[in-house]
Structure 1
């Protein structure tokens, strides 16, 4: 699980805000800029946005492409996507409890099919 930190140093936008925008359906830099307010031009945006956008589950290192493939192959619930990909089954390193913070994003991918 990624720790919350400032990604867009120009507009002071943090990682959690970007992930919330993704959970609401943003999938491109332009959509993240419109939804979360990142500038897309500062060093943080340049070095981290692509990686954040391409990842669904940081705990298990599951990519957006992998989750989309699972959905297209018939995984139509968060549980089915988790079974196929491992996404959403990580353990929080701090608390030792199941993380599952990516489950909202997984559900959005299922809902939107992208």
Structure 2
């Protein structure tokens, strides 16, 4: 078991990041902390794609060598696209959080529900 974890440390880190991100999204009442949790969760998914695509001794697919295994560039392209989408999601989320704070004066989800119920 310890040898498996030593060889697959990326998966251990992946599950730690997934757990922390999920906990932050569920347990925190602050909207900024929820957005940080979403960002950590996204980072864990990126790490998952990279770890799954790793080929031991793999060559670049541009000019493959005879007899060597070629690494697929598709997961890298997907992760790069997902990073751009993640940055856009974070920017829109922060803009919404700023707008919510200027309108209601709080970032706590329970307080926002009470204020919205009174309106």
TM-score, length-normalised on structure 1? 0.27
Higher fraction of strand = 1
Q: Please identify the structure whose Cα radius of gyration is greater.
A: 2
TM-score, length-normalised on structure 2? 0.26
Higher fraction of helix = 2
